[in-house]
């Protein structure tokens, strides 16, 4: 840490600052003429005059008027741009206004007036202004950059004894050296960064001395919120000295990180007359901050969190930055469960829930950040596996003085030196053999770890395996026999039930026997297809129908043969009752039609008749080679799964013959054939149906 770091965190000596800054500025020695004032109104308006009412353009002036009743700056002040000094102390000036016209002004004294605000345009162009005194006014507000704009070079600023309650960082910092800026004896409680500026790491601000004494500060400034992104860069960014004497600083966790950075420097150059005391907490009140730092007492700089900050109402929550930990003490509060929530923090938790009545160690979200968990002397019935998994960062886990019904096996993977199991009683059986091995292999002190067993009472856990090994072998054999028996029963009785439930349609199709006895039907084939699929329709018209008609099959094609005005469901039901074979052209669009109203009706009646009548057949042509996973309808899926769906265009090139064989031979008929003209005459069809409906292009 360099000298500058100490300046920021502590209070540097004025003599050191003055010697380092070289603030021996001398007044301008140019010859000046005095200006005089003439009051023009009763409320303090004035007019500036020279002695003879004339002046030269190169003439310099000064204006001094004390103990008057001025209410404003002179109305014609901009007529004198060569004014070097203005002293209007002890008047009643309420507002300065924009005096940027006074480009040569070096000194401005407005002490003991009644100013209330300074905006960021008042002095914005006064590049030569070195001395500014606005002390002992009623200033309550300063605009950001009102006193430290980039083009200002004010070396001595006195804004003490005003009514400021906050101070923006932009009115404190300057790029380059300055002498002093005095904001003492205000009512400043905090520093702000209204514009959220970030300090430039390539610029050095200062050196200079800032007086903030006798302001009611309660919290140490958080320089991270004031534009310092990295606290370790403070020394290179800000070469400031701060005088915070008379402030009501709370020596807590907010101050500790800054004091820790400045610890080495404080030992060397702290001076008695700039020492600051702690105003709180009670145990540190009145103690000198530098003494606490040099005496290694930073552990006492803590913050106690309340319920509004997330601390459980039964607990005490303390943040301790010096040890990077957050203490949560819930000892002896009759808790029946772990706290449901803890305050947010960047540190690890040390949680004390001993001497309570907690029955279950739950996997709370915060356990991942717990480094110490004292859960001794509770009423644990169960420790959840997930809770142990979350405790992957724990360095000290105490479960002592507990009677634990269930200890998860995963606890073996925690470091053995981090676990305290003194006077723990476990409920042990053959499933807890691992405890004995664990204690032995990990060399965990086992003198006071006991097991309650069913037949041997309480024994030392280390001897668990020796005493129960014979019993557990018998139990293992019995369990093995029982498991094998159960598995066999499940296979013998469960597997058939499973197959029947999940593959009932497949089994029916595979084991169904067709009755070849002769039955008379009006139609041999009912052809079901997606009538809007042009590819399918063209193949039906040009290939399938001509082929089947050679064998004399009577074929019902709904698109061709359904009479206009007939209800689709009634028509399908009536025709299917008179049909021997239901022929499905299975295409992707057949399954994906919106709602598939026509084909669903056809399939419903066809399947019902197929299920009840062994004379009937269902023949399916898998036109688009659909795999089983793409078929959702259960009965159709069953046909595809068991291989009863004929692939379109099979490798041997005889797919039409396969279709004909699956349908079966055409039986000789002795009745009048109403559909004897089986050759498909598209012109006749068009002529017959000209008035009623139009065929799709693919069927034309």
Which structure tokens are listed for 323? Answer: 């040890």
- Amino acid 689: pLDDT: 43
Q: Is the pLDDT of residue 454 over 50?
A: yes
User: What are φ and ψ of residue 59, in 5° steps?
Assistant: -80, 135
Q: Which residues contact 566 (CB under 8 A, 6 or more apart)?
A: none
Q: Among 123-127, 394-398, 468-472, whose mean pLDDT is lowest?
A: 468-472
Q: Is the pLDDT of residue 326 over 90?
A: yes
Q: Which residues contact 534 (CB under 8 A, 6 or more apart)?
A: 696, 697, 698
Q: SS3 for 178-224, per residue? A: CCEEECCCCCCCEEECCCCCCCCCCCCEEEEEEECCCCCCCCCCCCC
610/608 Cα distance (integer angstroms):
5
Q: Is the pLDDT of residue 5 over 70?
A: no
- Amino acid 649: pLDDT: 65
Mean pLDDT to the nearest integer, 448-465: 77
388/374 Cα distance (integer angstroms):
14
Task: Decide: helix, strand or coil at residue 583.
Answer: strand
Which structure tokens are listed for 639? Answer: 């046909």
DSSP H or E segment with residue 133: strand 131-133
**Helix boundaries (H) for 295-432:** 385-390
Which structure tokens are listed for 37? Answer: 């004032």
467/349 Cα distance (integer angstroms):
41
- Amino acid 685: pLDDT: 46
Mean pLDDT to the nearest integer, 565-580: 84
Q: Is the pLDDT of residue 687 over 60?
A: no
Model confidence pLDDT, tens digit, residues 411-445: 888 887 788 888 888 888 777 778 877 877 766 65
Task: Using a pLDDT cut of 90, give the percent of the chain over it.
Answer: 33
Mean pLDDT to the nearest integer, 16-28: 51
Which structure tokens are listed for 166? Answer: 């906050």
Q: Is the pLDDT of residue 574 over 80?
A: yes
DSSP H or E segment with residue 683: helix 682-688
- Amino acid 149: pLDDT: 82
| 565 band by pLDDT with thresholds 50, 70 and 90 | confident
Structural domains in the chain, sorted by start:
303-420 (3.80.10.10), 519-699 (3.40.50.10140)
pTM: 0.55
Model confidence pLDDT, tens digit, residues 327-378: 999 999 999 999 999 999 999 999 999 999 999 999 999 999 999 999 999 9
Q: Are 37 and 49 in contact (CB under 8 A)?
A: yes
Q: Which residues contact 325 (CB under 8 A, 6 or more apart)?
A: 347, 348, 349, 350, 371
Pick 685 or 10 by higher pLDDT: 685
E strands along 193-322, which residues?
A: 205-211, 238-243, 303-305, 316-320
Q: Are 394 and 418 in contact (CB under 8 A)?
A: yes
| 15 band by pLDDT with thresholds 50, 70 and 90 | very low
| 235 band by pLDDT with thresholds 50, 70 and 90 | low
Taking alpha carbons only, the member of 213, 171, 162, 216 closest to residue 192 is 171
Model confidence pLDDT, tens digit, residues 105-152: 999 999 999 999 999 888 988 999 999 999 999 999 999 999 988 888
- Amino acid 231: pLDDT: 61
Q: Among 43-47, 481-485, 595-599, 694-698, whose mean pLDDT is lowest?
A: 694-698
């Amino acid at each position: 840490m360099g000298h500058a770091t100490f300046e920021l965190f502590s209070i540097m000596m004025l003599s050191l600052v003055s010697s380092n800054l070289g603030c021996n500025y001398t007044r301008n020695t140019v010859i000046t003429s005095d200006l005089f004032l003439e009051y023009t109104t009763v409320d303090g308006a004035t007019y500036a005059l020279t002695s003879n009412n004339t002046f030269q353009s190169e003439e310099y002036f000064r204006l001094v008027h004390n103990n008057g009743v001025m209410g404003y700056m002179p109305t014609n002040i901009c007529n004198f741009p060569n004014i070097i000094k203005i002293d209007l102390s002890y008047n009643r000036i309420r507002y300065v206004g924009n005096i940027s016209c006074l480009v040569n002004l070096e000194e401005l004294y407005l002490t003991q007036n009644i100013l209330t605000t300074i905006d960021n345009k008042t002095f914005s162009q006064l590049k030569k202004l070195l001395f500014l005194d606005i002390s002992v006014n009623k200033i309550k507000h300063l605009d950001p950059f009102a006193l430290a704009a980039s083009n200002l070079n004010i070396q001595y600023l006195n804004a003490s004894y005003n009514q400021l309650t906050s101070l923006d960082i932009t009115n404190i910092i300057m790029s380059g050296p300055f002498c002093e800026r005095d904001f003492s004896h205000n009512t400043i409680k905090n520093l702000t960064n209204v514009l959220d500026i970030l300090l430039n790491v390539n610029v050095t601000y200062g050196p200079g001395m800032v007086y903030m004494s006798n302001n009611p500060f309660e919290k140490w400034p958080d320089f991270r919120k004031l534009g310092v992104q990295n606290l370790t860069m403070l020394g290179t960014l800000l070469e400031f000295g701060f005088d915070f004497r008379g402030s009501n600083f709370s020596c807590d966790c907010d101050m500790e990180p800054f004091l820790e950075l400045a610890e080495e420097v404080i030992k060397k150059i702290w001076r008695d007359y700039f020492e600051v005391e702690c105003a709180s907490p009670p145990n540190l009140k009145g103690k000198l901050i530098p003494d606490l730092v040099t005496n290694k007492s930073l552990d006492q700089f803590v913050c106690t969190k309340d319920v509004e900050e997330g601390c459980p109402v039964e607990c005490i929550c303390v943040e301790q930055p010096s040890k990077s930990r957050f203490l949560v003490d819930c000892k002896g509060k009759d808790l029946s469960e772990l706290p449901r929530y803890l305050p947010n923090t960047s540190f690890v938790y040390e949680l004390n829930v001993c001497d309570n009545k907690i029955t279950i160690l739950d996997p709370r979200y915060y356990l991942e950040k717990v480094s110490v968990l004292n859960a001794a002397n509770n009423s644990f019935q169960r420790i959840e596996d997930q809770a142990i998994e979350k405790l992957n960062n724990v360095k000290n886990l105490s479960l002592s003085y507990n009677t634990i019904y269930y200890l998860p096996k995963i606890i073996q993977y925690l470091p053995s030196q981090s676990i305290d199991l003194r006077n723990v009683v476990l409920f042990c059986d053959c499933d807890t053999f691992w405890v004995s091995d664990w204690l032995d292999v990990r060399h965990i002190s086992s003198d006071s770890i006991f097991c309650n067993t069913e037949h041997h009472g309480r024994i030392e856990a280390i001897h668990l395996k020796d005493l129960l090994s014979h019993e557990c072998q018998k139990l293992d054999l019995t369990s093995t026999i029982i498991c094998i028996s159960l598995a066999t029963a499940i296979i013998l009785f469960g597997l058939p039930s499973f197959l029947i439930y999940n593959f009932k349609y497949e089994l029916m199709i595979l084991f169904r026997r067709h009755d070849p006895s002769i039955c008379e039907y009006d139609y041999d084939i009912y052809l079901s297809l997606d009538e809007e699929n042009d590819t399918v329709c063209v193949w039906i018209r040009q290939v399938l129908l001509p082929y089947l008609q050679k064998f004399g099959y009577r074929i019902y094609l709904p698109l061709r043969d359904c009479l206009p005005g007939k209800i689709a469901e009634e028509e399908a039901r009536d025709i299917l009752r008179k049909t021997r074979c239901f022929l499905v052209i299975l295409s992707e669009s057949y399954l994906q039609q919106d709602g598939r109203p026509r084909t669903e009706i056809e399939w419903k009646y066809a399947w019902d008749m197929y299920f009840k009548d062994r004379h009937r057949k269902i023949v399916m042509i898998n036109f688009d080679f659909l795999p089983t996973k793409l078929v959702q309808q259960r009965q159709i899926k069953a046909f595809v799964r068991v291989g009863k769906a004929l692939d379109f265009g099979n490798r041997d090139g005889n797919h039409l013959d396969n279709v004909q064989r699956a349908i079966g031979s055409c039986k000789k008929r002795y009745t009048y054939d109403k559909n004897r003209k089986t050759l498909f005459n598209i012109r006749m069809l068009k002529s017959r149906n000209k008035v009623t409906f139009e065929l799709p292009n693919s069927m034309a």
